[in-house]
Structure 1
């Protein structure tokens, strides 16, 4: 992995304020979501939700960010990971989501309308999960891993290299109150140069 630099939690700006935040003595950030928070645009469900909690800092072409986190995955549609935003209609959320009794690893790529790709990672339920997003000139390369396991390619998604974008940790709790995610790391480094 390229040399990385910790991003202080205070360097980010929330898209929507969470219910509660607490920086712990070991520099982790515990964040509690507002019930009903989510991010989605139109496709299949017919609604627009723009209430996610995303702590964002600029992400330039040629940079990557890593976000690590743990959560008590037990609420329907509990989700956390990385959010990458250009504007209200152009963004990506990627990470894990607990739905129908399974933990899913995937991404929602939104270009006016959202799509969703997901696969089960139930063996990650008790793990510290890390999501890595590299920004190329025309794409985001998304990888994830559990604990010290191998990186898994999640998605290669088109993304406008000319646009100003910001990225960072995110969480949402569409169906319940009191989801608290512990974010343990937020780092910036050079983007991955290879897909494989």
Structure 2
């Protein structure tokens, strides 16, 4: 089993603190602010960088995992894991409500945002884990529901010398008050191979 180190919620730093965040044992319960989002220009023409993200250092050669349960039921409600470099360079990956169903996906932003997604209605109300693994010039993005198999979602570029941070994120572009329970936050070594099971 790959060695992982749990990150205490208090060890990480908020980018745009939410209106409410409270530890509940080992969990963190977060409530989103009104019309918060991360997006940059593509199709919609606007730039938003006011969603909530709790971040820790994410150097090359490491991986970060975030577990959460979220009742995404309003258009664009979203929660998951953020990789942050600056306002023009970031990745968010998680579950988002779109087209009337929960979708797992990723937005990769390098000046302009690029969105990919796939429907996962069977994941609704269950614990989801997102994982980002950084090696060389790339980030591998994976997801799983409870103890199910890991699903590779995306391979995205990230400059080897970029100073990045990563951790839980959430936002509610069409309203406010999305409640997310983050169940864990951990870091460890990067994936051994692109197609290797990170649980091994």
How far, CA to CA, are the matches of 2:94 and 2:153 in structure 1? 9
- CA shift digits 1:122-176 (9 cap, x unpaired): 1100210000100111000000000000000010001111111000000000112
What TM-score comes out, normalization by structure 2 length? 0.96
The corresponding residue for 1:14 is: 14
How far, CA to CA, are the matches of 1:40 and 1:192 in structure 2? 28
Partner-residue secondary structure (3-state), 1:98: strand
How far, CA to CA, are the matches of 1:21 and 1:112 in structure 2? 30
Pairwise CA distance, 1:76:
1.2
The corresponding residue for 1:29 is: 28
- CA shift digits 1:33-71 (9 cap, x unpaired): 001000000111100011110000100100001100001
How far, CA to CA, are the matches of 2:105 and 2:159 in structure 1? 20
How far, CA to CA, are the matches of 1:58 and 1:112 in structure 2? 22
Partner-residue secondary structure (3-state), 1:76: coil
The corresponding residue for 1:108 is: 107
Alignment of 1:21-60 (within 5 A): 21-24=21-24, 26-60=25-59
Alignment of 1:162-181 (within 5 A): 162-181=161-180
How far, CA to CA, are the matches of 1:123 and 1:194 in structure 2? 28
RMSD: 0.8
How far, CA to CA, are the matches of 2:151 and 2:57 in structure 1? 25
Q: Which runs of 5+ in 2 are unaligned?
A: 196-200
Partner-residue secondary structure (3-state), 1:10: helix
How far, CA to CA, are the matches of 1:118 and 1:181 in structure 2? 20
How far, CA to CA, are the matches of 2:122 and 2:182 in structure 1? 19
Pairwise CA distance, 1:189:
0.7
How far, CA to CA, are the matches of 2:176 and 2:164 in structure 1? 30
Q: Which runs of 5+ in 1 are unaligned?
A: none
Q: Structure 1: which 4+ aligned runs deviate by more than 2 Å?
A: none
What TM-score comes out, normalization by structure 1 length? 0.97
